[in-house]
Amino acid sequence: MIKELSELGKSLRAGKTDNPWVHDALKDEPISMELVITSTGEFNGLQLIEDLLTPSEAITAKKGKARLLLDKPEEVLCFGGDASRKKHQLFLDKLAIYKSLGELIPVIAFYENNVTGIDRALAEFVELYATDDKKVRKRLAGNIGFRIHSESSRIHEKQNVLQAVIDEYETTQRDQLAASSKKCSICGKTDFPVEDIPHGPIKRVPDGQTAGCALVSYNATAFESYELKGNNNSSICTNCAKTYVEGLNWLLSSGNEKLVTDKKGKTKPLFRYTNRRNFGSDTAMVFWTRNNQALDEIDLLDAPSAGEVATMLESLVSGKEKDAYYLVPERFTPVLCPVRRRVLRFGTGSKPAWGSFGYQSSNGSKTLPLGCMIRI
Ligand SMILES: [Zn+2]
């Protein structure tokens, strides 16, 4: 199933022909505030902006990492005092890697000009943060990006900066491939390294962590074998890891607003998922096909026929010929449940092969299955 998700992610990328910045090193991230400075690094103002997505450095996990020129107030402004010092240092360390870039000169000056730069920006941020307006508070918790006051594009969006991020990423990948080249179990190639790093968060898993959940993760030695450490056990190359994460995140979030009329006759926009249906508060099912055709099952779940839903779910369990409609190749249906202690297991039983999501009980003694998926 990871392979099908990865293929979906790759085909979604192939469809973005109007975007020149589709690369493993980059990812669109939300931005909710601009930190405006002068070309000599003096603080000019903070500008709240409507949530929008902006191309930036891709980081595979938030913990212990900072993103180049686009991050939260703790990282950018050391908001929160001593508790944020480590995060802020990570942000400065990241800047130092790219310090030879001319585009960064004003930002480096901003951090050196304590009084007219960072200190003034932090003071204004703290003042803004004193508001009771929940909407403003939410924006203030989002990502901040730098902009020179006389320019329209943000510094992290500049061509030279994005290219430098790609170059840095490719150099690191080449070094890793030179040190060790392993075949990826998903694409079967050795074009990209297999690394013991998080593959990236899966967002909007029902009842999951807000920062996202790891779909494949070896976070305890009990799951390791052949003396391999962490995610090296899963043998998924960095490219397939990024694309399966992109594919699954797209399935969980894709949708559009439709105008609906409520009981009182009021018309309002309602967001409708195109590839996802929720079951209760802790389970979601996602649907897709290899060629991205519309799926009847989604409508079936809106206007359920008890018999058909039962047949569909039973078909996953039984794999019998009479239920074959839901088992045809090209049609994929995994069930997603919260993955609290993050384990993905694949069994090797009878056809079709099974994988199951589960979580480890708190004493670590056993893995409790929470949901299942089928690989056809
Ligand atoms: Zn691969």
Give DSSP secondary structure letters for 294-343: --HHHHHHHS--HHHHHHHHHHHHH--GGGGGGG-TTEE--EE---TT-E
**d(CA 88, ligand 1 centre) in Å:** 34
Reported as a single tens digit per residue, the pLDDT across 216-233 is 877 677 777 888 888 888
Largest interatomic CA distance in the chain = 75
Would you say how long the chain is, in residues? 376
**What is the Å distance from ligand 1's center to 237 Cα?**
4
CA of 347 to the centre of ligand 1 (A): 21
70: closest CA among 57, 61, 52? 57
Cα 103 to ligand 1 centre (Å): 34
At residue 321, the pLDDT reads: 53
What's the average model confidence in pLDDT over 136-146? 93
Q: What is the DSSP letter of 353?
A: P
pTM across the whole model? 0.75
Cβ–Cβ < 8 Å for 351, 338 = no
Structure-token pair, residue 291: 């060629």
| Cα 144 to Cα 107: distance, rounded to the nearest angstrom | 13
* Residue 329 confidence (pLDDT) above 70: no
Q: For the residues 44-62, what does the mean pLDDT come to?
A: 90
Give pLDDT, residue 106: 97
| CA-closest candidate to residue 157, choices 167, 144, 139, 145 | 145
Show the DSSP H helices in the chain as ranges: 2-14, 73-77, 85-97, 105-112, 118-129, 134-140, 159-179, 238-253, 296-302, 306-318
Q: Taking a C-beta distance cutoff of 8 angstroms, is the pair 371, 356 a contact? A: yes
pLDDT at 335: 55
Distance (Å, rounded) from C-alpha 311 to C-alpha 372?
A: 16
Tell me, in angstroms, the distance from the centre of ligand 1 to residue 170's CA. Answer: 16
The CA distances from residue 299 to 153, 243, 254, in Å, are 43, 27, 16
Ligand 1 centroid to 197 CA: how many Å?
14
Ligand 1 centroid–CA 247 distance in Å is 14
Task: Evaluate if residue 88 carries a pLDDT over 90.
Answer: yes
Answer whether residue 337 shows pLDDT above 90.
no
How many angstroms does the Cα of residue 93 sit away from the middle of ligand 1?
Answer: 30
Report the 10 Å Cβ neighbour count for 172.
Answer: 14
Tokens of 260: 């609906």
